[in-house]
A and B are shown apart, each in its own frame.
Chain A
Amino acid sequence: MLKYIFKRVLIFIPTLIVITLVGFIISVNAPGNPVERMISTAESGGEMASQTANQQEQKKYWTEKLGLDLPVFYFSLTSLSRPDTLYKITERNEKEAIDRLISKFGNWSEIHKYNADLNLFFNSLIRFSVDSSEKALYDLNDVTETLNQLKFESLSLKSSYELKEIEAKFKKMEALISKFSFLKKFQVSLDSIQTDFLAIKKTATPWKNYIPKIAFYGFKNQYHRWLFGDGGKYSNGLLRGDFGTSYRRKESISNVISEKIGWSLFFSLLSVVLAYLVSIPIGVKAASKRGSGFDKTSSVILFLLYSIPSFWLATLLLMTFANTDVLHWFPESGVKPAIGYPDGAGFLEKIKISLPYIILPAICYTYSSFAFLSRTMRVSMLEIVGQDYIRTARAKGLSERQVIWKHALRNSLLPIITVFATVFPAAIGGSVILETIFTIPGMGLETVEAIQNNDYPMIIAVLTISGLLTLVGYLISDILYAIVDPRIKYT
């Protein structure tokens, strides 16, 4: 037995690693710039063109904190034309532009020179200020406007990769520079950028893109840090319960989860308990009187219930029982009154206050798993009732009641244990919809809001955690099964 459990746990580990990998791959490919999301948007008036030194510093801090200056994984499959150090470019658009240029021309050294000159140009542009002696000569508004435009053009040049687009930008920048004589020194560096670009086109080696290469990066990478942390400097790692920071709430995801998990857990447990309480008697009764009126009607009703989409039932219930036009028996949304619980209310009193809020969601949470469980229960019970030992029990004069509830039920409960593992993840997945409809402040609603706000760390955390919980559920049900059923020998 112990050996079996040990073996089972061993298999569990690679599966877990793959699940974290899937979550990680999704988060790496998430669109948008995480750093810009983290920097407070208070000074976002000029957006791109107004990059102050302070912002640069903040950027650097968040890049390091989010680990974006590290390579993505232990190794990567790239081409001969790509350098191993491409990950050091932290700006996402810039990286993509460079990567696309490489995939077109395949000559990194020239592209690198082009990019370096472009950065040099951009940085000197940011630091540039007009001499006070010259300020008097020109219209100040016009000067700032031109400078801002120039900054914007050069910044967007960094993320351009279409030839025509780049050349058009060169022309536009030249026109801007020629506007003022004091900008002349930029013309020189712009010329060098243009010669760099010509060099890229001239010495193109696209064949290098077709030769694969594997680059190794060692343990200092984003995945390793995400999983194991970096010794507590920025992250403690997933394995120590540190899921990172939520973009939306700007607080640790573990905090958000511990705050939100309560209601989700409450509803999924409630639904499992209620479903078991209802479905076992129904399944048993239907099976013991096979072909009777009860069996037939309950089968039809259960089948229909099983096919009703939960979001439809939920909206229909709300429409009928929480609608001021029809019946206003229950509140429309939430789990407690808007003003909150009265001060000093005990646990029981809180439940009593919340009860009207809970009833409708509880029905929706329960009915589908209860329909499924009843049907499973009926089938497994039917199989048991045909067995020899049931006939023996009847032959020795036990009452029908005793035969069914004592001898048959026990054995037919076995398949339901395995069902337990599938009911649990269903409760987690299904809650996304139901929590949204009933506005229950749980994990499901949090996930939907995270998705609507592109809060990827949160989404990935939810994905990984629920995958983990499901795996644990399977593990427990397998072990329970092995303990409960002595007929099964595990090796």
Chain B
Amino acid sequence: MIQEEKNIEIKTDTKTEFSVSFDFKKYAWKQFKKNRVAYFALKILILLVGIAIISPVIATDQPWYCKYKGVSMFPAFSVYNQCQITDKSTGIEETIQYDIADWKHLDAENIIFAPISYSSNKTDYDNAGYVSPFAKQLFKNKEGNETNIPLKFRHWLGTGKAGEDVFSGLVNGTRISLSIGLLSMSIASILGIVLGAMAGYFGDNKLKTSRGSFWTFIVGLVFAYYYGFSVRSYFISDAFSISGFEILVQLLISLLIFTIVVAIFYWLGKFVGKIPFLKQQVNIPVDSIVSRLIEIIISMPLLILIISISAIAKEKSMVNLMIIIGLTAWTGIARLTRAEFLKVSNMEYIQAAKSLGINEFRIIFKHALPNAFAPALVAIAFGVASAILIESSLSFLGIGVPPSTVTWGSLLNLGREQFSAWWLLAFPGFAIFLTVTVYNLLGEGLRDAFDPKLKK
């Protein structure tokens, strides 16, 4: 029954005049919406993503608007980090460095602060030493006297040992947690879906090629590794001590070179495969190779593996962590995609596509994948949850993330030193718990929505 439904959906995809009233995506969405808990979780997720996007603006010590000596500034939104101000009466030039200026004590004519007027990586000396959200908080006013803190500068969720604002840390931590989950899972999804699809579709004896092209391809891989990574190894390792962006750029250049070299050798292989002796067909056991690879990765203790890899990285950075998690977390996605492709690859519409002589890779990614994508999506949702958990446990241990970055895990770690500071334990922990639960609920909801067997 459901097979037919899926087949029909493919026809609608090919944009013929023929249209049917049934659409599997719409059907799944309707099923998902019926699941009230999962739908609620989706709403919370959207809220969290919203917070993550606007977090640098709503939780920062740089004011939204400031008028100082007749000059209007928008530090929180500005791409520049400083502003030259000339005092009209005295002619003295003054430079205001946005990120280090003491805005709260600035003698400004007009100033509007962000709702959370603290940055996560800065400290408030007046309220250092674990100040409770309900306790009396201090503020040094312009005359230099300690007074009760004004409402707009209150630490609503308390402070840490050095005076870190917990609320700001929470809000900015959302961005870090979600982006780690998103980016690492993007890497994992690409790897998992491609490998799983190939393994399931080709199995152990469906991918045949000539001896010549096979060996040319293998040699091509060695060359591609050599030109992509071996020759450029110092560029890449130097990038690790510059910035996360630089790492990404260098890795992308390497990957590009790798792909180009592989493509060249793939093309060469077509000619080599025409030589009589090298013409003989060989089998490529794709399934066995991928299954072994999965077995190897799942038999490594993930946390210890990630810890050891991040221990040898010269510079701690978020990008490192994302890449490591992405490279190790694809196995679940690959297994589910593989299982789905095993089913799909024998269906009539795939047979039909094959008999029409359509390129195999086109069949895999254009025709089969849309129907096999659902289980992968479920695995991705659970994967994001575990990636966030891994990141927060690592920063809880103080491993893997740079010490200047404030994350939920590192906030929780601050609280471990002082159990009486319950706000340092309760709020960040709850944030982690909430996000992980939301993704787990989403995963469950998606699984139920995509699996018509469960429908009563």
A contacts, CB < 8 Å to B: 11, 14-15, 18-19, 22, 26, 29-31, 77-79, 100, 103, 209-210, 212, 303-304, 306-309, 311-312, 315-316, 318-319, 322-323, 325, 425, 428-430, 432-433, 436-437, 447-448, 451, 454, 456, 459-460, 462-463, 466-467, 470-471, 474
What are 16 A-B contacts defined by CB distance under 8 Å? Answer: A19-B299, A29-B312, A31-B314, A77-B222, A306-B440, A312-B433, A316-B429, A319-B425, A425-B301, A428-B301, A428-B304, A448-B399, A459-B307, A470-B298, A470-B300, A471-B299
Q: B183 interface residue, CB < 8 Å from A?
A: no
Considering the complex of A and B, which 5 residue pairs feature the smallest CB-CB distances, nearest first? A312-B429, A307-B437, A429-B301, A429-B303, A470-B299
Q: B97 interface residue, CB < 8 Å from A?
A: no
Q: Which of A15, A309, A318, A474 is the one whose CB lies under 8 Å from B393?
A: A309
Given contacts A318-B419, A428-B301, A432-B307, contact A212 B433 (CB under 8 A): no
- Asked whether, in the complex, the Cβ of B301 is within 8 Å of the Cβ of A459, the reply is no
When distances are taken between beta carbons in the complex, the residues of chain B under 8 Å from A77 are 222, 225-226, 230
CB distance from B132 to the nearest CB of A (A): 12
Q: B231 interface residue, CB < 8 Å from A?
A: yes
Given contacts A19-B300, A463-B300, contact A26 B429 (CB under 8 A): no
A212 to B229, CA, bound (A): 12
- Asked whether, in the complex, the Cβ of A456 is within 8 Å of the Cβ of B305, the reply is no
When distances are taken between beta carbons in the complex, the residues of chain A under 8 Å from B307 are 432, 447, 451, 459
- Asked whether, in the complex, the Cβ of B234 is within 8 Å of the Cβ of A18, the reply is no
- Asked whether, in the complex, the Cβ of B420 is within 8 Å of the Cβ of A467, the reply is no
Q: In chain B, residues 210-248, which have Cβ atoms closer than 8 Å to a Cβ of chain A?
A: 222-223, 225-227, 230-231, 234
A430 to B393, CA, bound (A): 10
- Asked whether, in the complex, the Cβ of A309 is within 8 Å of the Cβ of B429, the reply is yes
CB distance from A398 to the nearest CB of B (A): 27
A425 to B301, CA, bound (A): 6
CB distance from B17 to the nearest CB of A (A): 44
Q: B125 interface residue, CB < 8 Å from A?
A: no
When distances are taken between beta carbons in the complex, the residues of chain B under 8 Å from A78 are 230
Q: Interface majority SS on A: helix, strand, loop or mixed?
A: helix
Q: Which of B296, B314, B422 is the one whose CB lies under 8 Å from A319?
A: B422
Known pairs A79-B230, A432-B303, A474-B295; list 9 more (Cβ under 8 Å): A304-B437, A309-B432, A316-B426, A323-B419, A325-B420, A425-B299, A428-B301, A433-B397, A467-B300
Given contacts A319-B419, A437-B416, contact A451 B302 (CB under 8 A): no
Q: Which of A26, A31, A79, A467 is the one whose CB lies under 8 Å from B299?
A: A467
A312 to B311, CA, bound (A): 24
A325 to B418, CA, bound (A): 11
Q: B78 interface residue, CB < 8 Å from A?
A: no
A312 to B433, CA, bound (A): 8
- Asked whether, in the complex, the Cβ of A15 is within 8 Å of the Cβ of B436, the reply is no
Counting residue pairs across A and B whose Cβ atoms lie within 8 Å, the total is 138
Q: B396 interface residue, CB < 8 Å from A?
A: yes
A14 to B296, CA, bound (A): 9
A303 to B385, CA, bound (A): 13
- Asked whether, in the complex, the Cβ of B301 is within 8 Å of the Cβ of A467, the reply is yes
Q: B389 interface residue, CB < 8 Å from A?
A: yes
Q: B292 interface residue, CB < 8 Å from A?
A: yes
We find that the number of chain B residues with CB closer than 8 angstroms to chain A is 47
Q: Which B residue's beta carbon lies closest to that of A464? A: B300
Given contacts A316-B425, A451-B308, contact A209 B299 (CB under 8 A): no
A22 to B305, CA, bound (A): 9
Q: Which B residue's beta carbon lies closest to that of A332? A: B419
When distances are taken between beta carbons in the complex, the residues of chain B under 8 Å from A312 are 412, 425, 429, 432-433
Q: In chain B, residues 378-404, which have Cβ atoms closer than 8 Å to a Cβ of chain A?
A: 385, 389, 392-393, 396-397, 399
When distances are taken between beta carbons in the complex, the residues of chain B under 8 Å from A437 are 416
Of A22, A309, A325, A462, most buried by chain B (CB within 10 Å of CB) is: A309
A14 to B392, CA, bound (A): 33
Of B300, B426, B432, most buried by chain A (CB within 10 Å of CB) is: B300
CB distance from A78 to the nearest CB of B (A): 8
When distances are taken between beta carbons in the complex, the residues of chain B under 8 Å from A432 are 303-304, 307, 397
When distances are taken between beta carbons in the complex, the residues of chain A under 8 Å from B314 are 31
CB distance from A19 to the nearest CB of B (A): 6
Of B311, B399, B416, B441, most buried by chain A (CB within 10 Å of CB) is: B311
When distances are taken between beta carbons in the complex, the residues of chain B under 8 Å from A29 are 312
- Asked whether, in the complex, the Cβ of A22 is within 8 Å of the Cβ of B300, the reply is yes
A209 to B227, CA, bound (A): 10
Q: Which A residue's beta carbon lies closest to that of B444? A: A303
Of B302, B303, B396, B416, most buried by chain A (CB within 10 Å of CB) is: B303
Q: In chain B, residues 352-388, which have Cβ atoms closer than 8 Å to a Cβ of chain A?
A: 385
- Asked whether, in the complex, the Cβ of A466 is within 8 Å of the Cβ of B304, the reply is yes
- Asked whether, in the complex, the Cβ of A448 is within 8 Å of the Cβ of B397, the reply is yes
- Asked whether, in the complex, the Cβ of A212 is within 8 Å of the Cβ of B230, the reply is yes
Given contacts A79-B231, A309-B433, A459-B308, contact A212 B300 (CB under 8 A): no
A79 to B419, CA, bound (A): 57
- Asked whether, in the complex, the Cβ of A212 is within 8 Å of the Cβ of B223, the reply is yes
CB distance from B317 to the nearest CB of A (A): 15
When distances are taken between beta carbons in the complex, the residues of chain A under 8 Å from B301 are 425, 428-429, 463, 466-467, 470
- Asked whether, in the complex, the Cβ of B304 is within 8 Å of the Cβ of A462, the reply is yes
- Asked whether, in the complex, the Cβ of B420 is within 8 Å of the Cβ of A311, the reply is no
CB distance from B379 to the nearest CB of A (A): 15
A11 to B234, CA, bound (A): 37
Of B298, B392, B415, most buried by chain A (CB within 10 Å of CB) is: B298
Q: In chain B, residues 34-70, which have Cβ atoms closer than 8 Å to a Cβ of chain A?
A: none
- Asked whether, in the complex, the Cβ of A309 is within 8 Å of the Cβ of B222, the reply is no
CB distance from B296 to the nearest CB of A (A): 5
When distances are taken between beta carbons in the complex, the residues of chain B under 8 Å from A306 are 440
When distances are taken between beta carbons in the complex, the residues of chain B under 8 Å from A209 are 231
Given contacts A26-B312, A456-B312, A462-B304, contact A309 B299 (CB under 8 A): no
A471 to B389, CA, bound (A): 24
CB distance from B142 to the nearest CB of A (A): 37
Q: Which A residue's beta carbon lies closest to that of B394? A: A433
Q: Which A residue's beta carbon lies closest to that of B226? A: A212
Of A425, A428, A430, most buried by chain B (CB within 10 Å of CB) is: A425
